[in-house]
Amino acid sequence: MSSDKPDILFISGSPRSHACEALAALIEQAAVAAGAQTQRFFLSNKHIDPCMGCGACSKTGVCVLAGSSRGGRPQDDYLELHELIERTDGLVIVAPLYFAGPPAQFKALLDRFQPYWAKRYVQGEDPAPKRPAQLFIVGAGGDAHGHAPLSGIAKSALAVAGFNLEKVLNFVGFKAKGDTPAVPPEDQRDGISLGRIAQMRRALVAQRDFEQRALDAGGAFARYLLKVREKDQLQKELQLVEAELEAFKADADADEGVDEGANAAQAAGEVGAPADTESAPEAPEAPEAPMDPTAPEDSAT
């Protein structure tokens, strides 16, 4: 984007407006405080149709569902998503863990990146420099299969869309505000075991740790993008200076060529001209012949 501030797109991959959006809001808060500007695309209030696998984008580079309408209204929100992706400097995804993978709504969003793959690998379009992306994983915990499927699917899809998934951060156990039970005061603990009280305290400590980690991550990501932008700007300025130097050098070489040509022409003219010689002295006029003394004065000569 043209602004001096880096732009970060926040995508919530959850169909619910709850923990994922609460975490995204914390990260966004810190990113804005660090100097970034942000955009949101939360699937709790957006709709993305799934890819049909028709293959049309391999011929045109454009999804046939993009821009289609239903009842005079856009069929889904893909065009909005596409515009946000094209202009962002960095991407933050907060997604829930469904059986070690993404929820259906988020998987549909990732599958609609197929036109990016078609442009690159079918049509041969040169890829743009990769932009950084981070994935924050939210879940209740307890799944022995981890989150490798979710991370792998996201990394694969983001790569064709021009992003490098640089970090995957585990926030399994994070809760939305109000979902972490408060420890009741001592005079209200009747019937609550000491073990339960200890469990509540551990949950509060863990939640505070999650929140601080989210703030730290958001600020760090924004500062990183600021440095990338400064580096890019310096690189552009350096390229301009190098271009000016090349132009100056070309002008100097052209002027030198003109001077050499003139000197060569002058030298060639001097070689072809006759050498300067001293003028021969003029011959003295011949003296008049003496008058014949015997000839009469009026006779013809």
Per-residue model confidence (pLDDT) at position 292: 47
Asked if residue 289 has pLDDT above 70, the reply is no
- CB hemisphere CA count around 274 (13 angstroms): 3
Query: Which of residues 71 and 52 earns the better pLDDT score?
Result: 52
Query: With bands split at pLDDT 50, 70 and 90, how would you rate the model's confidence at 67?
Result: confident
Average pLDDT over residues 13-35: 95
Task: Give 38's DSSP letter.
Answer: E
* CATH (one of 3.60.110.10, 3.40.50.360, 3.30.499.10, 3.30.530.20) for 7-183+195-243: 3.40.50.360
Angle between helices 114-121 and 148-160 (to 10 degrees): 50
Query: With bands split at pLDDT 50, 70 and 90, how would you rate the model's confidence at 187?
Result: confident
Q: CA distances (Å), 215 to each of 7, 203, 212, in order?
A: 17, 18, 5
- What's the alpha-carbon Rg for the chain, to the nearest Å? 42
- 94/50 Cα distance (integer angstroms): 20
Task: Supply the pTM of this predicted model.
Answer: 0.75
The partner residues of 37 in beta bridges, in order of sequence, read: 7
Per-residue model confidence (pLDDT) at position 273: 54
Query: Which of residues 234 and 91 earns the better pLDDT score?
Result: 91
Q: CA distances (Å), 235 to each of 124, 239, 269, in order?
A: 27, 6, 51
Asked if residue 166 has pLDDT above 60, the reply is yes
Structure tokens given for 34: 């660090």
